[in-house]
Amino acid sequence: MTVTTPETGFRARLQRLARRTAVFAIALTIGGFVAPGAATAAETPPADDEQSVELHVSAGLRGTVAPGSSTSAVLTVRNRTDSELTDGRVHVEIGRTPLADDAGLTSWLDDEDAAGDFTTIGSESTEAIAAGESATTTIFVPEDTLGELAPGIYPLRAELTGATTGGPAADDAVEQDTTATSVLIVSAASSSLVGVIVPITATPADGALLTSDEIAALTAPEGALTAQLDGVAGTTAVLAIDPSILAAIRALGSAAPEQAMDWISRLDQLPNARFALQFGDADAGVQAQAKLPELLQPVTFAPFLNPANFPVERVTPSPTDAADGTAEPTPTPTETPALPDDAELTDVDGALPRILWPRPDVTLDDLTAFAGYLGDSTTTIVSSATVGGQSAAHATAEGHDILVTDAATSASLSDAAAEADPAARQRLLAEAAARLFLAEGRAPGAPLLIGLDRDETRTPDALREAISAADSIGFDFGTLRDTAPVAATISVETGTGAADVTNLLLDEQSLGAFSTILADPQVLLGPERIRILRTLAVSTPADAFSASVTAHRAVTTATLGAVSIPQSSTIQLLSANADLPIGVRNDLPWPVTVQLTASPTDPRLEVKPLIETVVQANSTTRVKVPVSARVGSGEVDLRLGLLSPTGVQIQSDQIIRVAVRAEWETIGLGIFGGLTVLLIGLGVVRTVLRKRREAAEEAAADAAALEAAEPKDGRGE
């Protein structure tokens, strides 16, 4: 931890630093030298609420120095204010009384509380630093300065004085006296071999398998999964691999991104020992506490496979003989996609078998259950907190084989691996080295094991440096299980979360019944099982586990309510016989087949009791329900429900009110008949009048014609 001016807290500053794009490079070797005042790349000046000046100090190689040797103290000053930091002076001092145990180390790093006197080991001037920039200063520490220090962990403190920020006027200047703490470990010859377990996991956004786009991003040159392999390459780290990553890539077949296939190939070629986590990194302990007869596994990957993305194989059925003994014609070959099975999709090449890495709250009963799941030779990785602080890597508890990770060292090294800023990381590495020094003292000569936290955002440099700070050349995880174990006692008596697992599986059973409305129930049940496994993931903090289960159950409840009959107002029935339009909503992404049940609460209304219909994905379908009313007028309740084709109730019965107005039909018909007669009568009268008019007009025309044809008197004689 680095102590800064009081404008911000340390943890908040580290979180903000991790989000910044500037990367500060620092070279740290025994006896190395960096010119005072050498500035690094500029940062963007911070917002007003981030005004601070930070000081980081480290000494030795990741906080460690050999007895009687020289070293260098490297100090990084970071100006996170919006004005220039003037020149000042830094000096470094070391406590002469070693920190005796983990409690003393924690007290020093958290509270600057350490016994004994401090001695100055160096001092140096610093140059002015512009807003948003940083600079490093190196102080050489000759061997005679540390020569009298016996092997141990010594408190290290640095202070910046005389530097100010603000305006040029004295009244505007703000003193930026700042301190920083770390430790320096004077190492002793150690015969302990140390191994580091690195979990490689990746969580999809929707909780099932990683999508093609997610895989492409994760396995890109700057992707998180690529960073994991970059970080472990060249180390002896043991890889704990979530097989869901491999399954997601292989399930894409020929559609898998090229860099993803290269990632698998590179993983297979790494010489590091490895084992497979449970699918989705599910916690085996909580499953054992729920008394499951076997560990949960994915149901099927069929919904994730597109046959078009896999090669086609030609299959010729075996010929058969006819009943009369004559040979039947040769069967016609068929072409079938060569789909991989579940074992092929999840296979981790070279994985050591029968290893489980659950949460730390493992009980003795859990170990017994694990042996029932995988066999008596099962090895369980537990935290030293689970066995009362014991640090030796290989142990047995009541005949059960266990590997023990040192809790304190694992936590410190995990923090270092997660820290993107090199200057801040040095203090975390020094703390991890101190924790490891104490662990070696608790188990002299015995192999030690460190387990990094599940973390999907580590940078390759941080991961590699964290591993290199602890792992030993020659450490062999495969033979560690064959070394002589020490006796251990499990200190955890009861676990938590069993009820949550039971509830999740009960919900899954409800989804199984519900899924009978689908043509292929596995499109729902396959991803659901994977989401359950991810809900049980070890990476879920213990204090957030119940909330995660609650959130998952809320999604399940929403799915069970995705097919329903929407609420309806009173339906007006204006005829004794009609079809009532009843809406059925389907919010699922697949078509469903349901049976609409209808039954009246009054015998005066007759309905068709069962109608089967198909409702397309994300749509609402109107189902016509034939009804007959035996009452001329009145209101009748109609009970509606939904069943699957197998008779499973999809929605509980709901009542809608039907207002029958059948007499309106008679009145309407009478009015319509009267209007019809009237219109016909008017038509007849109009026709008769028109005919008479036409006859009169014709008679008049004929008379006129005759008159015109008669000769005039005296003409033509």
Rounded Cα gap, residues 359 and 382, in angstroms: 8
Strand (E) or helix (H) holding 265: helix 258-269
Q: What is the pLDDT of residue 178?
A: 92
Lowest mean pLDDT among 481-485, 544-548, 616-620: 481-485
Strand (E) or helix (H) holding 678: helix 663-709
pLDDT digits (tens, 9 = 90+) for 38-74: 333 334 444 444 668 999 999 999 899 988 889 999 9
Rounded Cα gap, residues 438 and 430, in angstroms: 13
pLDDT at 263 over 50: yes
What does each C-alpha distance from 648 to 506, 587, 590, 639, 641 come to in angstroms? Answer: 16, 18, 18, 17, 11
Rounded Cα gap, residues 57 and 156, in angstroms: 8
| Pair of tokens at residue 642 | 């939904």
Burial class (CB in 10 A: 0-12, 13-18, 19+), 278: buried
Rounded Cα gap, residues 383 and 372, in angstroms: 21
Q: What is the pLDDT of residue 77?
A: 94
Pairwise pLDDT comparison (659 vs 527), residue with the higher score: 527
Angle at 474 (CA atoms; ends 232, 272), nearest 5 degrees: 30
The answer to whether 196 touches 450, Cβ cutoff 8 Å, is: yes
**Nearest Cα to Cα of residue 386 among 411, 414, 410, 363:** 363
* Backbone phi, psi, residue 409, to 5°: -65, -40
pLDDT band at 20 (very low <50, low <70, confident <90, very high): very low
**Mean pLDDT to the nearest integer, 269-282:** 96
Q: What is the pLDDT of residue 39?
A: 37
Lowest mean pLDDT among 167-171, 248-252, 539-543: 167-171
**Mean pLDDT to the nearest integer, 362-387:** 95
| Pair of tokens at residue 469 | 């700070």
pLDDT digits (tens, 9 = 90+) for 318-339: 666 555 556 666 667 777 888 9
DSSP category for residue 148: T
pLDDT at 653 over 80: yes
Pairwise pLDDT comparison (31 vs 124), residue with the higher score: 124
Amino acid at 136: T
Q: What is the pLDDT of residue 710?
A: 67
Lowest mean pLDDT among 323-332, 358-367, 526-535, 567-576: 323-332
- pLDDT averaged over every residue in the chain: 85
pLDDT digits (tens, 9 = 90+) for 566-596: 987 777 766 667 888 899 999 999 999 999 9
Amino acid at 367: L
pLDDT band at 628 (very low <50, low <70, confident <90, very high): confident
| Pair of tokens at residue 166 | 């603000």
Q: What is the pLDDT of residue 328?
A: 63
Q: What is the pLDDT of residue 662?
A: 56
pLDDT digits (tens, 9 = 90+) for 672-710: 666 777 788 788 888 888 888 888 887 887 777 777 776
Q: For the sheet containing 379-383, what is the strand order?
A: 355-356, 379-383, 400-405, 394-397, 486-487
Q: What is the pLDDT of residue 367?
A: 96
Write out the E strands in 338-478.
Answer: 355-356, 379-383, 394-397, 400-405, 448-451
